[in-house]
Structure 1
Amino acid sequence: MKQTTLSTLVLVAGLLVAGPVLAHSEAHKGHHAVATVKEQKPWGIAGEASQVDRTIEIRMTDQMRFTPDRLQFKQGETIRFVHHNDGKILHEFVIGTRETLDEHAEAMQRFPGMEHAEPYMAHVAPGQSGEMIWTFNRAGEFDFACLIAGHYQAGMVGTVQVLAD
């Protein structure tokens, strides 16, 4: 009986540890496997591939920088972002307001394994590429960042200016 109980405890402990790790890995594989939820955000809404106006290539490096780090669009433009991770560690590209990025970065510091896969986020493994499609239907100044713990704090940020019609 003791051997069975010990085996069960080891199995349960293994599942408790592996579950969040696997879930986090799945979340970072890309959000395209799941139907995209179109939720209006202050910085826009998930876009449709059939409505892409242009493609912007973004490079991410382990020097904690994006190239380019300043973007300008016209209100209503739908952009296909193609992200290239030129580094050896995972990076992400998250669009938002300074306030929402600050809040998310703080949460990532407290819970580095937290799951998230929103249409305004792209997670790109080292040496890989990823993409996202976003419609900038609101004018204003917004930001983008890598919110992986330590990356945002190291300056992995950029700005988006969306010009009114």
Structure 2
Amino acid sequence: MGIENRRWLLAALLSLGALGSAQAHGGEKHAGPLRKEQKAWGIAAEPRAAGRTVRFVMSDDMRFTPDRLEVRRGETLRIVVKNEGAMLHEFVLGTKAELDEHAALMLKFPNMEHDEPYMAHVPAGQQAQIVWTFNRAGEFDFACLIAGHYQAGMVGKIIVKEKQR
């Protein structure tokens, strides 16, 4: 096999791998290894690292309950999100600027596919979880970025405070 054919085959296989690991909004998460990429709002963690569990409810009135959470820097949480509505919702952690940008993309491309450890796509009547270490102090946000939901006010705030000495 010539070098050009090998490059083409490698590119094709990498493309198929990327497609296989992507997740459509509402699809099932792949079972691949957890990607631990540092973000401004923290880093993904293994489930066994969670020190406590917090629960959020999503509803078709475009609200989260609760819509605010305080944590200590360094705390690892198991975030369980339950969709009590009749339509698909999601829970996405991020900065306000990143959520604004992603929400605008979702309006243009509502079927956009992606799979990140700080996102949970939750069909009606189901629940999902995110395990996250909040290793940076500050104010961060969470939202449902399904087209129109963010714009309707489906947002919340996470305050990460410094550890008390």
TM-score bracket, shorter-length normalisation: 0.7 to 0.9
Q: Is the 8 A contact 2:122 2:128 kept in 1?
A: yes
State the partner residue of 2:107.
109
CA distance in 2 between counterparts of 1:24 and 1:49 reads 20
Query: Which is higher, the Rg of structure 1 or of structure 2?
Result: 1
Q: Secondary structure at the match of 1:28?
A: coil
CA distance in 2 between counterparts of 1:76 and 1:37 reads 18
Following superposition, which runs of at least 4 residues in structure 1 exceed 6 angstroms of deviation? none
> What do residues 132-151 of structure 1 show as CA deviations (whole Å, max 9, x unaligned)?
10000000000000000000
- Aligned-residue identity in percent: 59
Structure 1 unpaired stretches of 5+: 1-19
CA distance in 1 between counterparts of 2:60 and 2:154 reads 9
The alignment's TM-score, normalised by the length of structure 1, stands at 0.83
Cα displacement (A) at 1:30 = 4.1
Cα displacement (A) at 1:164 = 1.2
1:125 maps to a residue whose letter is P
Cα displacement (A) at 1:28 = 3.2
> What do residues 104-141 of structure 1 show as CA deviations (whole Å, max 9, x unaligned)?
00000000000011000000000011111000000000
**Superposition CA RMSD, Å:** 1.5
Q: Secondary structure at the match of 2:107?
A: helix
How many residues are paired up?
A: 143
Higher helix share: 1
The alignment's TM-score, normalised by the length of structure 2, stands at 0.83
Structure 2 unpaired stretches of 5+: 1-18
- Shift of the 116–81 alpha-carbon distance from structure 1 to 2, 3 Å rule, reads same
